Amino acid sequence: MVRLLALTALFLAPAIALAQDEVCDPTQRDCGCERNWGCWDLLYSTKGTVLGLQGTATRVSSGDDERLDTAFLASYATEHYGTRHGLTGHFQAFGSIGGGTAGNEGSLGGAVDFGYRLEITKLSGPFARIGANAMLFGNRSFQLSMFEPLQSRVGYQFLDGDTLIESGLTGGLLAAGKYDASQGGARSLAPSAEVGAYAAMRLSDVRFDARVSQLYASAPGPGTPIDLVRFGMCGYLRPAALCGNLLFVRGEVGAGQRAYRRVGSLYLGLSVGLTP
């Protein structure tokens, strides 16, 4: 899925970042490549890309039952925002693989969305984008999978070179997904409606991301929503980077004989690596 998203972004990005009549001069403030990251250097040298090593901790809690596991992984993450001539796009990809006290562990995911931004100023304006989103986290004690073939984003963006401030609302439909807390129980997330909000900030040497959402699954189950919270931050002292991320999932899952109980899962990661 991530490979498909990456190929989609690589094929569509050149159409969005149409070549200007004049050569892009990065010394000029009005140069689209410099101001809006419009050169679409996505997978390898986008500012914010990190390739490194990651330590994780997973805590699954349901009532009096609690389990804590740790792991060590190799990881990769990249993300790109671009706006040019009103057309705006966002691309993200991440993955990790390793193992720990809960056996093999890994993650894989990505997102791609394109749309249009109104020009309130040359650097900012409201936008609407539509695309797809997918992610998979897993070890023996906690698994979360989501495939969202249709996701929309509306919000406001300020983008000027290394500086990005963006926030908005998200909504979409999950075609596949599962929340599995091992002995705590499991629950299908397909089909589900997703609503949420997010904020992203990029500066030259730091980045922050935060997202909250709820999943309203229509599959057989307790009829209560699943809560998700994601947060990430990185500090860059190029060529090195230090990043932390958090994923929190809470909701009622099946524990056998149609009994449901509330289970919370917390996934923490700390990574150090190389960045362009």
The pLDDT assigned to 43 comes to 43
Judge whether residue 48 has pLDDT over 60.
yes
The pLDDT assigned to 229 comes to 97
- Of the chain, the percentage scoring pLDDT greater than 70 comes to 79
In the chain, alpha helices (H): 2-16, 32-36
What mean pLDDT value characterizes the chain? Answer: 83
pLDDT tens, 125-160?
Answer: 999 999 999 999 999 999 999 999 999 999 999 988
Confidence of residue 276 (pLDDT cuts 50, 70, 90): confident
What domains sit in the chain, N to C, each tagged with a CATH number?
2-274 (2.40.230)
The pLDDT assigned to 45 comes to 45
The pTM (predicted TM-score) of the whole model is: 0.82
Q: Which residue has the higher pLDDT, 181 or 10?
A: 181
Residue 104's nearest CA partner among 56, 54, 140 is: 140
The pLDDT assigned to 41 comes to 45
Confidence of residue 238 (pLDDT cuts 50, 70, 90): confident
Asked if residue 178 lies in contact with residue 187, where contact means CB atoms within 8 angstroms, the answer is yes
Residue with tokens 């509306």: 154
Judge whether residue 15 has pLDDT over 90.
no
Return the structure tokens found at 3. Answer: 């490979």
Please give the angle made by the CA atoms of 211, 182 and 143, to the nearest 5 degrees: 35
Confidence of residue 261 (pLDDT cuts 50, 70, 90): confident
Please give the angle made by the CA atoms of 124, 79 and 123, to the nearest 5 degrees: 10
The pLDDT assigned to 258 comes to 57
Peptide bond into 191 cis (omega under 30): yes
Mean pLDDT, rounded, for 201-226: 86
The pLDDT assigned to 204 comes to 83
